[in-house]
Amino acid sequence: MNELASHPPSARSGRFLKDHLFVAVCLLAAGLCIAVLGVLLASIITQGIEHLDTHLLMNPPSRKPEKAGIYPAMIGTIYICLVCAVSAIPLGVGTAILLEEFKPRQKTLARLHGFVQLNITNLAGVPSVVYGILGMTAFVEVFKVMGSPGDPVWTLGTPENWYYLQLPFGRGVLAGGLTLMLVVLPIIIISSQEALRAVPNSLRQGALALGATRLQMVWGTTLPAAVPGIMTGTILAMSRAIGEAAPILIIAGVVYITFTPEHLMDDFTAMPLQIYDWASRPQESFHQVAASGIMVLMAILLTFNAAAVMIRQKFQR
Amino acid sequence: MFAIKPSGVFAAALTATALTSFGVSNAVHAEDLKGSVKIDGSSTVYPITEAVAEEFGAEYRKVRVTVGISGTGGGFKRFSTGETDISDASRPIKKKELDKAVENGVEFIEIPVAYDGLTIVVNKDNDFIDKLSVDDLKKIFLDGTTVKTWQDINPAWPAVQIKLYAPGTDSGTFDYFKDVIAGKTGSIRADMSVSEDDNVLVRGVSGDKGAIGFFGCAYYFENADKLRAVPIDGGAGPILPAKDTIESGEYAPFSRPLFIYVNAKAVDRPEVNAFVEFYLEEGAELAEEVGYVRLPSEIAELIKQNYLARKTGTQFLDENGEKIHGPLSEVYH
């Protein structure tokens, strides 16, 4: 009895000590992350709260910090993110379906498949400024061979229509949104692939065994099961798009603008650019306006994400 | 041809009325004037152009003005293809950029709008440096220098290690500094803390006793309580950067002019002409408000006459494409 009481507890306490230590280390790691985030948020909120009002939300920028507003940049950001989402999600999910659901068996095609896969994985790690240059070449410069933005070779509608299109594009909302699409496409493809891969194969085999076509299998079985995962990836991708300054700086380059875009070809600016400009001003009070801008950006980001989370919840039921 | 003539006449008429009775004629034209003015270029000049655009927009409500910050070089790239109407520049146009513009048939009017005094700063606690000559700066900043501590410059100074802080190497500010210190062939050492954001340089120098850095005077004026500006001896005794010494050109060789370049064809559009004339009228006041130094009034008058005469081309390159140096009063005559 005595021996049992004296020996095992020490062995037990050694094992449990390690166990407790492990939990403590995990807690410390998580705590540090949250502490850093907390410090960041606290410093931004204390700096930015003063200028955060309806004046900031409803007015164009100004040389005077107390008069400066973020309205055109806010609308610009919302527009390019919409263009980005509308173009990137179908393209990204479509590519993921091709890569996951229709894997080729033939040798050369399989090799091509592997090559495409490798490239997409690599693209996810490319710095966003490179996408800015790519977007510049692909959407702004290429069509310049045919004409100039002031003298388009082809138009659809007039500048009074929101869908006004012209070739060449110029540095408008469409070119900006499509460039952001390039930035987020690899992220959406990879996360959608992960989501599709997580769908049990038995579901696919079941659908096919019941005589479903591949279209019916993907559309009715695999895709709905993968939507929550796809949405998670899309949220991450859009969060990245909304915060990107470098590609937008290359495409738009504009910071001072007093009007909001009226059509897809119109000039625009985005919030990260405006915030960057304010933060690099010499005057201390502009740094506070920058902090207020960051708070607005975060609020929009959270709204976007909340919408996506709600869609995800709906599909998970 | 036919289409150009009337608008040219209109622009001339607007110019004439603007000259005689600026306020009254503006009130009539300002409300009706439509169109857009596209501006891009230097982020150093941006605060001035932004201020002008803001005031201009209050009067000319229907004119859409956009101002970008692609940098001096990036701005010229767009300007030389006729994509923008006006280019902000923190240095004169380069030979290559000029050739590109000529190739594309773009003519321009060069307008200096303000002075910036490139300020050499050290830490607040650094009380031993009373002045630096251009040669001292060469010893500190040139590539391949053997100078490591302040004692290597002046034996009376302590053996504190020198730490260097500099703006991004493709900024106009760095270009100008390099031109003065290293000239055409030399190069600036690479072991510096470099940042595109001048506020980072301010923080760096103010937290490091041995530090030395340089940036535009607006950042120094705003942070004068955290940093110490070094009087610079350009040959005529040490001079501190201040509004009057920069304006008079005494603060040599680090007083530099800032420019806007205006597309000569775009000036035929009344909204662009109105904007440039507004810039010439109000620019000096607004430049001072955002932290720069206004041009002396004689030079400002000369520049205004240049614009009204639509004098195109640059004053900073000779026939062989060589750079012309010197204060504005000598370059503009």
Q: How many CB atoms are located within 10 Å of the residue B331 CB? A: 16
* Interchain pair A280, B43: CB under 8 A: yes
Instruction: Report pLDDT for B10.
Output: 43
Helices (H) and strands (E) in chain A, counts: 12, 3
- Asked if B121 and B226 touch (Cβ cutoff 8 Å), the reply is no
Does the beta-carbon distance from B221 to A282 stay under 8 Å? Answer: yes
CB distance A280–B223 less than 8 Å?
Answer: no
- Determine whether domain A49-316 maps to CATH 3.30.420.40: no
Q: Are A237 and A88 in contact (CB under 8 A)?
A: yes
- Do B3-115+257-331 and B119-248 fold alike per CATH? yes
CB contact under 8 A, A282 and B54: no
Q: pTM for this structure? A: 0.83
Instruction: Tell me how far apart the alpha carbons of residues A253 and B166 are, in angstroms, rounded to a whole number.
Output: 24
In this complex, the residue of A280, A282, A284 whose CB is nearest that of residue B291 is A282
Give the pLDDT mean for A300-304. Answer: 87
Annotate A87-110 with DSSP letters as a single string.
HHHHHHHHHHHHHHHS---SHHHH
Query: What size, in residues, is chain B?
Result: 333
Is A63 part of the contact surface with chain B (CB cutoff 8 Å)? Answer: yes
pLDDT of residue B16: 44
Query: A214-226, pLDDT tens digit by residue?
Result: 999 999 999 999 9
A/B interface, count of CB pairs below 8 Å: 74
Pairwise CA distance, residues B255 & B257, whole Å: 7
What mean pLDDT is predicted for residues A254-271?
89
Q: Which residues of B touch A (CB under 8 A)?
A: 38, 40, 43, 46-47, 49-51, 53-54, 57, 64-70, 74, 78, 82-83, 196-199, 218-219, 221-223, 286, 289-291
Nearest to A271 by CA among A167, A176, A170, A184: A176
Supply the pLDDT for residue B27: 46
A280-289 mean pLDDT: 90
Does the pLDDT at position A7 exceed 60? Answer: no
Give, for A282, the enclosing helix (H) or strand (E).
none
**3-class DSSP state for residue B86?**
strand
- Whether the predicted pLDDT of A105 surpasses 70: yes
Say yes or no for a CB contact (<8 Å) between A279 and B47: no
CB B107 within 8 A of CB B312: yes
Q: Do A282 and B83 touch (CB under 8 A)?
A: no
Least confident of A83-92, A146-155, A280-289, B182-191: A146-155
Tokens representing A206 are 């079941």
Domain regions of chain B by residue span: 3-115+257-331, 119-248
Sheet order of strands, B238-239 included: B132-133, B232-233, B238-239
pLDDT at A278 over 70: yes
From chain A, pick out residues whose CB is under 8 angstroms from the CB of B266.
none
Chain A residues touching residue B50 (CB < 8 angstroms):
61, 63, 255-256
Give me the tens of pLDDT residue by residue for chain B, a chain 333 residues long.
Answer: 344 434 444 444 444 444 444 444 444 467 788 889 999 998 889 999 999 999 999 999 889 999 998 888 889 999 998 889 999 999 889 899 999 999 999 999 999 999 999 999 999 999 899 899 999 999 999 988 888 899 999 899 999 999 999 998 878 888 889 988 988 788 898 889 998 888 999 999 999 999 999 999 989 998 999 999 999 998 888 999 998 888 888 888 898 899 999 999 999 999 999 999 999 999 999 999 998 999 988 889 999 999 999 999 888 887 777 777 766 777 776
Disruptive mutation site among B52, B55, B69, B83 for chain A (greatest number of A CBs within 10 Å): B69
CB B50 within 8 A of CB B67: yes
> Looking at chain A, which residue has its C-alpha nearest residue B66?
A257
- Nearest-neighbour CA in chain A from B43: distance (Å): 9
Cβ atoms of residues B105 and B112 within 8 Å: no
Query: Would you tell me which residues 73-132 of chain A have a C-beta closer than 8 angstroms to some C-beta of chain B?
Result: none
Q: In this complex, do A282 and B69 lie within 8 Å of one another by their Cβ atoms? A: no
- Tell me if A280 and B66 make a contact (CB, 8 A cut-off): no
Chain A residues lying within 8 Å of B83, measured CB to CB: 148-149
Pick the CATH number of B3-115+257-331 from 2.60.120.1310, 2.40.30.30, 3.40.190.10, 3.60.15.10: 3.40.190.10
Query: Inter-chain contact A282–B49, Cβ cutoff 8 Å?
Result: no
CATH homologous superfamily for the domain B119-248: Periplasmic binding protein-like II (3.40.190.10)
| Per-residue pLDDT at B28 | 47
Instruction: Answer yes or no: are the C-beta atoms of A296 and A289 closer than 8 Å.
Output: no
The rounded distance, in Å, linking the Cα atoms of A140 and A149 is 9
Higher pLDDT, A305 or B37: B37
Distance CA A94, CA A196 (A): 12
Distance to chain B for A243, nearest Cα, Å: 18
**Min Cα–Cα distance to chain A from B73, Å:** 13
Which of A47, A59, A63, A260 best probes binding to B when mutated, by most B CB atoms within 10 angstroms? Answer: A63
